[in-house]
Structure 1
């Protein structure tokens, strides 16, 4: 019998990799947090499996635990590199010689899917500079990921971003210090690229309403480590107040997570019809043979029943919010602002929607943010008028000032790429090609008016995979003598979105011989992104916005 002792971070990591029933099958019957005071009595019959981050706090907790051990024996596993000094401290504390094993088990990040990870760091920067702990934590998360993948990468970073450069330097520092750990046999002619990007380069993607199932759930309900709270849904049953959306343990979700809202609704209908057929077949239990068949099928039937109830409730709540707050109208305006050039029409659309009482305040604010980003330098910029309209809606001035904070965070001065495809540099063949592609797409129309937008990450990754990503914009750190990139590990300072995750999923299916792994400091929806912007711009005067708009 075993007890699993974790900290706050590793609890999240383990919960994403294993269900509780899977852990129970390994004879783990108790779960404790090392950083939460416990009055647990001594249980020498239990083996204690410790899985924690090698932080100074955890080392102190462990040293105290080993001096007066409550359990029979201890197996110590650390999610990242353990220093020799900390190892010595633990050895000196193990006065009862109860430790049987010490091992580094590289898993210092939250695995959200086979190609998506997060470090769950909120408010990574302040004053548009790294918070020192978050810089170190980000570097440790990245190096842990590289060790678990057994990759020693070439590092590229965003040239205009001090945040990206500093993180690249910190990662290289760890790679150099722990060079022995990164000596992997390279049996192929390919290489791994670690590409470090800055969220400031694309502040549009986190602001847009999403229409694929997973991204839509995160935008309107919020997904936290695969869990969604439905406690505020009227009439919801107790067992559905919190639901788990995991592609690994939910076949329907695995198939539907990247489908658009209409396709998801059709899949739900098909699932319900299938369930109703099975329910009718189980109602006829007239013989011993029927009873045996029913008992054998019951676990699957029960699981299917739970799946139907869960997804019908989630999709029903999404549908309710879409209708109540006229989100389709809002989304059309967002996509038009982002993907097309028509200042007069866009300004009129935003004004009309701000005046619409059915629209939520946060949606009105996002529309003004998108307008501000798109038409920051336009000769007829009417941002002052739109800010006044927000005030008339009753949005507090402190909240509406986020528009100016956003311009300081991700305005034109903070970007090196052409986010909206409006600037043509005839000397740059790739730039011209991208502009022409976008314009042709606009002329031909799109299959879905709600999904016209492609994240900037798409162009960046395509250029990288094809070997045409410009060194001046995304330089190498150190040597640039490399072979064709097979694995690309992306890290976005400031957070990543499920829209970008959906993009990477599609690219991984289409690429031959290459794999992309995407991650960032945190997972964003529009509300979380606004919080990040507010924290990141604390103490920064709105120099650019004051001079132009006030």
Structure 2
């Protein structure tokens, strides 16, 4: 009886531990300490962090997260013959972001099974006919799971009572020696053929955007991590660095205890696994920020397509749930990764969206020879419903017509343009004397529904963030709170007392008081930064999109190689600052699609910049307006937030 094959797990063999030819070695049921501490283990991990020969990070600099994830997964399923794929809940969600069921079938993946506490749940990909137990014994079973306590335990249960004839184990992150031992003991029939650690432990939402998909970050104290959330976030960041072969300096928001904790854990992991992170990468910085350092960005209404859809409808791991005036909710994949048309329009301004979609629909309409009028989004929607042959040609365009119709109706019905104008003025201008009447007027105008009152709550919060801590404005702010409160009570707004407590404590809850005590100007008070500080970005001349996220101020310094004291180095400030070329920005409490839009614009400019020396990367200083060639900004977060989520997060803290 054999257990985990050391020849498959470790390479190369040494003469002391096996034949020089590298033939497999079978260990007895209780694996010796050698299995748990073989010196070649770090080398194997490093070689698997990206399939293929070991290359410098500079050669891989243009690789995006999606490419890395696809290559991992493609390498896993390349075993010849019919195969079953076993995933757990998280790896199933992560994999579905970049691989479709059709692609799995093309790789001879005949069955897809979900590993959970209740055992295996089977999904037939290649056939609607059930597969017999005898046939399953001939399948190769490709396992890809997170090395979590539950998934390891469930896999041990499967190995003790195996359904398949051979198992190829892949883990999305580092497996502890204790868990290796548990798996070895569970494999009593010796069916495990390979055992790999790969680094695909993040949700690749877009080409340069990821999340750890963690929303419950704390238990009782909002300044202190839930331990599971802390480690899950560190797992994601570690795998992103390893997948892209990046060695980094770590910085954090100096006023955030949570950012400091995550930065400390990341430093400790990198030190413990030095061999894994031994890459010759260009200057790279991992910057860990706290959403509360810029609370205004997620509160603003969004007017570029992708950000607007998330704000109004919600996108969860690239899945959009849309009612579309039907009895059932439809799930749509909403990602540039699998939708080329979305890649074209994702950053399109709402005012231009209808024309862009109309042009695309008209081109497809010409192929059908139909001359129906297409004057507006509603015409396009009716046209697509009436002509099935057009839907076959259009691919995902029909989905975008439906989505555009929905957000257009929501914009008109909820007076979002009026609300957004007030928000932008509050966020980017400094004329508070006229703002009290403006916000009060908006509250009265939208006081006829719970939805309207929730929308105006954004403006009241923004006013409080801007002026609520000023003695000169305290009376005006209290007046606004009372105005909102009076209308809310008449409507029967839920939990109004808690909302009122939030408004009176907004500076403490968002950490503004702490930042001011540290001598740091809060983001929302830095008007020079929030509006048109950096020129050349899309939407800067549009009153509805004139706001710029605060992280650009620090990023500009990072790309220049200049000091920025709000973002501390976990190991102390280096004696010499170098301009960063790879920057990973990670937001605790959620990144936004607006920030992703700005990061994407910087990356696009960098890709178009010409190096001083043709054919070579140039690492001269740059900035967000004119990034140097080779610059790449990757945006991540514990999750992707929006106004409703962020307000719920703020209200939750009033209970504490």
TM-score in same-fold range (> 0.5): yes
Deviation at 1:146, TM superposition (A): 0.7
> Matches of residues 338-349 of structure 1 in structure 2 within 5 Å?
338-349=427-438
> Matches of residues 176-191 of structure 1 in structure 2 within 5 Å?
176-184=271-279, 186=280, 190-191=282-283
Task: Indicate the residue corresponding to 2:366 in structure 1.
Answer: 277
Greater shift, 74-83 or 38-47, is seen at: 38-47
Q: Is this contact kept in 1: 2:365–2:390, CA < 8 A?
A: no
Deviation at 1:37, TM superposition (A): 2.0
Q: Is this contact kept in 2: 1:214–1:258, CA < 8 A?
A: yes
Task: Indicate the residue corresponding to 2:102 in structure 1.
Answer: 21
Q: Is this contact kept in 2: 1:405–1:533, CA < 8 A?
A: no
1:259 to 348, 357, 360: 348
Task: Indicate the residue corresponding to 2:546 in structure 1.
Answer: 452
1:50 to 143, 151, 155: 143
Q: Partners of 1:340 and 1:437 in 2: how far apart?
A: 8
Deviation at 1:473, TM superposition (A): 4.5
Residues 1:316 and 1:104: Cα distance change in structure 2 (over 3 Å): same
1:523 to 640, 643, 646: 640
1:461 to 541, 555, 569: 555
1:249 to 338, 346, 351: 338
Q: Is this contact kept in 1: 2:203–2:210, CA < 8 A?
A: yes
> Matches of residues 304-453 of structure 1 in structure 2 within 5 Å?
304-356=393-445, 357=447, 360-378=452-470, 379-381=472-474, 382-394=476-488, 395=493, 396-404=496-504, 406-415=506-515, 416-421=520-525, 447-453=541-547
SS of 1:71 mapped into structure 2: coil
SS of 2:169 mapped into structure 1: strand
Task: Indicate the residue corresponding to 1:215 in structure 2.
Answer: 307
Q: Is this contact kept in 2: 1:156–1:195, CA < 8 A?
A: yes
1:11 to 89, 92, 100: 92
Task: Indicate the residue corresponding to 2:118 in structure 1.
Answer: 37
Q: Is this contact kept in 1: 2:321–2:330, CA < 8 A?
A: yes
Task: Indicate the residue corresponding to 1:88 in structure 2.
Answer: 181
Q: Partners of 2:554 and 2:548 in 1: how far apart?
A: 11
Greater shift, 465-474 or 133-142, is seen at: 465-474
Structure 1 residue runs without a partner (length 5+):
283-298, 424-433, 540-550
SS of 1:362 mapped into structure 2: helix
Task: Indicate the residue corresponding to 2:266 in structure 1.
Answer: 171
Task: Indicate the residue corresponding to 1:206 in structure 2.
Answer: 298
Deviation at 1:81, TM superposition (A): 0.7
Task: Indicate the residue corresponding to 2:649 in structure 1.
Answer: 532
1:513 to 630, 634, 645: 630
Greater shift, 1-10 or 322-331, is seen at: 1-10
Residues 1:535 and 1:137: Cα distance change in structure 2 (over 3 Å): farther
Q: Partners of 1:198 and 1:63 in 2: how far apart?
A: 38
Q: Partners of 2:643 and 2:534 in 1: how far apart?
A: 29
Q: Is this contact kept in 2: 1:53–1:80, CA < 8 A?
A: yes
Q: Is this contact kept in 2: 1:192–1:488, CA < 8 A?
A: yes
Q: Partners of 1:38 and 1:57 in 2: how far apart?
A: 11
Q: Partners of 1:472 and 1:351 in 2: how far apart?
A: 35
Q: Partners of 1:95 and 1:329 in 2: how far apart?
A: 68
Q: Is this contact kept in 1: 2:147–2:175, CA < 8 A?
A: yes
1:230 to 301, 306, 322: 322
Q: Is this contact kept in 1: 2:294–2:524, CA < 8 A?
A: no
Q: Is this contact kept in 2: 1:325–1:360, CA < 8 A?
A: yes
Residues 1:349 and 1:57: Cα distance change in structure 2 (over 3 Å): same
Is structure 2 residue 233 aligned with structure 1 residue 116? no
> Matches of residues 86-165 of structure 1 in structure 2 within 5 Å?
86-125=179-218, 126-128=220-222, 129-165=224-260
Q: TM-score, normalised by structure 2?
A: 0.73
Q: TM-score, normalised by structure 1?
A: 0.86
Q: Partners of 2:567 and 2:316 in 1: how far apart?
A: 34
Greater shift, 124-133 or 76-85, is seen at: 124-133
Residues 1:479 and 1:389: Cα distance change in structure 2 (over 3 Å): closer
Q: Partners of 1:119 and 1:326 in 2: how far apart?
A: 34
1:490 to 567, 585, 590: 585
Residues 1:248 and 1:470: Cα distance change in structure 2 (over 3 Å): closer
Greater shift, 398-407 or 195-204, is seen at: 398-407
